[in-house]
Chain A
Amino acid sequence: MSTAMNFGTKSFKPRAPDKGSFPLDHFGECKAFKEKFMKCLRDNSFDSSRCRLQSKDYLECRMDNQLMTKEPLEKLGFKDLMDPPPGPADGDTKP
């Protein structure tokens, strides 16, 4: 597509990924998580918003198995899926 000789039209410029490349999962350690994710997608007619939990699980699996650099999940856009931080100790409890 970038060989179209139209002068003045912008051609596509591929950009490197922000965090680099995923190492290949040669041993299929996270295959189970992937299957869960794919099943979720198929069930929800490929709506990505509904399968974010499964994608979070898959990425956590990758991080656990040295297939991805460990990063806090907020940086990967999963802020809304995180457990809320524990609130202050109950001050309402009556002795």
Chain B
Amino acid sequence: MLLPVMLRPSLCCPLQASLLLTRCGAPRTPQAQFEGFLRRRLPPGLHLQIRTRRTRSHQEEWRSHQEERRSHQEEWRSHQEEWRSRNKTVLTYITAAGVGMIGLSYAAVPLYRLYCQASGLGGTAVSGHDAEQVETMTAVKERVIKVTFNADTHASIQWNFRPQQTEIFVVPGETALAFYRAKNPTDKPIIGISTYNVVPFEAGQYFNKIQCFCFEEQRLNPHEEVDMPVFFYIDPEFDEDPRMARVDTITLSYTFFEAKEGQQLPLPGYAYN
């Protein structure tokens, strides 16, 4: 900043420049010698007048430069403050958005569940699905579907578990009964719990079980054999679904696991109802 200040006087008045140099304690240059010569030649009063006038204008210039500099600095400071306040607002907005997103992700869980129940998306149990339908539905006698049965046991359970019929022919809208048999060949009672699976998956949402033996602990005493019924029906809307047009076989597969003491299985559907 001092550089332009120094350049300007040297352009317009070499004498002033030399004066500045002498003021800053510069070594004696030829110009300074000339200045000393002038001092000796000119009458002393005039010389003093010229000198003070020059210094006064220098000082004024210097003061105006300083003021300029100060105003620049103030401007810069105000810019900075403006920036700071702008940053603060931006930061506040971003933080608010972040917190909003976190809250939304927590709220999404029950909201999505509600949406799924209302729309029945992904085969979830539609909340409007009621048992009254069983009373009023009519059988679609033209569409015969073969239901095959499969029985599995987990490796750790020692039951003998098998279906009593390999297949059965049903029509949508008509209730049907099927049997499985389980035998406990060991000498100690075993508690089992089962789950089921329906293939193809899309047909699973039309496969409604009225009553069965799944998802609850079933206890078999030593050397006991029981019949386990499954009472089900296929929704009559199965016939109207275009995706099910080529489905002729549905496989119902049960798997038994050993229920351990205090073990909580995630039971489907119970948590929501």
* Chain A residues with a Cβ under 8 A of chain B: 1-2, 9-22, 24-26, 28, 30-31, 34, 37-38, 41, 45-49, 52, 55, 58-59, 68, 74-79
Assess the A20–B170 pair: CB atoms within 8 A.
no
Bound complex: CA A73 to CA B19 (Å) = 122
B132 to chain A, nearest CB (A): 8
Q: How far is the CA of A10 from the CA of B243 in the complex (A)?
A: 14
Instruction: Given the known inter-chain contacts A13-B122, A14-B197, A46-B168, please indicate yes or no for A24 contacting B219, CB distance below 8 A.
Output: yes
Q: Which residues on the B side are within 8 Å of A28 (C-beta)? A: 226-227
Q: Are B176 and A48 in contact (CB under 8 A)?
A: yes
- Chain A residues in 8 Å Cβ range of B228: 22, 24
Main secondary structure of the interface of A (DSSP, over half): loop
B174 touches A77 (CB 8 A): yes
B177 touches A55 (CB 8 A): yes
On whether the beta carbons of A58 and B229 are closer than 8 Å, the reply is: yes
Which chain B residues numbered 227 to 263 have a C-beta less than 8 Å away from chain A?
Answer: 227-229, 231, 233
Which among A2, A10, A79 has the greatest number of chain B C-beta atoms within 10 A?
A10
Stretch of B23-31, B78-86, B91-99, B205-213 with 4 or more beta carbons under 8 angstroms from chain A: B205-213
Rounded to whole Å, the gap between the CB of B57 and the closest CB of chain A is 83
Closest to A14 in B: B268
- CB within 8 A of A18: which of B168, B179, B209? B209
Complex Cα distance, B208 from A31, in Å, reads 25
Number of interface residues of B (CB under 8 A): 55
For the complex formed, measure the closest distance between the CB of A5 and the CB atoms of chain B, giving whole angstroms.
Answer: 15
Which B residues touch A15, using CB under 8 A? 125, 208-209, 268-269
Say how far A37's CB is from chain B's closest CB, in angstroms: 7
Instruction: Annotate B166-189 by CB proximity to A: 1 below 8 A, 0 otherwise.
Output: 011111001111010000000000
In contact, A24 and B213 (Cβ under 8 angstroms): yes
Contact B169 A75 (CB under 8 A): no
Quote the shortest CB–CB distance from A73 to chain B (angstroms). 10
By beta carbon, the residue of chain A nearest B139 is: A49
B16 → A minimal CB distance (Å): 82
Could you tell me if B179 and A59 are in contact, using CB atoms closer than 8 angstroms?
no
Extra inter-chain contacts (16) besides given A1-B199, A14-B195, A31-B227, CB under 8 Å: A9-B201, A10-B123, A10-B201, A11-B201, A12-B197, A12-B201, A13-B122, A16-B270, A18-B210, A37-B179, A47-B169, A48-B169, A49-B139, A55-B176, A58-B177, A75-B131
